[in-house]
Structure 1
Amino acid sequence: MYESTVTVKGQTTLPRDVRAALGLTSGDKVRYLILDGEVRVLKARSVEELRGILSRSGQKPVSLEEMDQAISAGATGSVDLDK
């Protein structure tokens, strides 16, 4: 477990091992996620870094039109799970 002190201005320094675990370097941004009284610190990622993060081998990319059709079908309850 790591700890740091909060200054009068509400600032703190992330311990070196925490920065290393998150792959943080000078100038990087972090995000804070509050869940059930706990705070999680995450390295902020750009949209470009997220490209392909959900891809699976053997699964073809889905177009925006196909996504819209799936959303519409789900909203109307006419989802065909066999496709």
Structure 2
Amino acid sequence: MLANAFVDNAKVMAKGQITIPKDVRDVLGVSSGDRVTFIVEGSTVRIVNSAVYAMQMLQQEMAGEAERTGLTSEEDVMALVKELRNEDGRG
């Protein structure tokens, strides 16, 4: 097992509900009202913080987009921002 790995468990209640153990909530960075995502891969299930997962998926989808549009340096990005600000009259 990994050095930072641990095992915890929870009981499934009559309606299929479980309480996520505090140590696991702490690792996920979730608290009351937050959402978690279940990722099922075969017979293995991962539970992740939904907000973090959504950001990771967005980052994966956007990977390489800047280069595909010709934004290859910070100067290119700054020039685009300046152009956009001038177009909307707030420059």
TM-score range, shorter chain: 0.5 to 0.7
Structure 2 vs 1, CA of residues 30 and 61 (structure 1 numbering), >3 Å: closer, same or farther? Answer: same
TM-score calculated relative to the size of structure 2: 0.53
Q: Give a deviation string over 1:34-80, Cα, whole Å, max 9, x none.
A: 0021000011017x855x84688xx88357xx4xxxxxxxxxxxxxx
SS in 2 for 1:32: strand
1:61 aligns with 2:73: no
Selected match of 1:30 from 28, 36, 40: 36
Which is higher, the Rg of structure 1 or of structure 2?
A: 2
Q: Please report the RMSD computed on the Cα atoms of aligned residues, expressed in angstroms.
A: 3.3
Which residue in 2 is equivalent to 1:11? 17
Structure 2 portions without partners, runs of 5+: 1-6, 70-91
What code does the residue aligned with 1:38 have? T
Q: Which has the higher contact order (CA 8 A, sep 6+)?
A: 1
Identity of aligned residues (%): 28
Which residue in 2 is equivalent to 1:39? 45
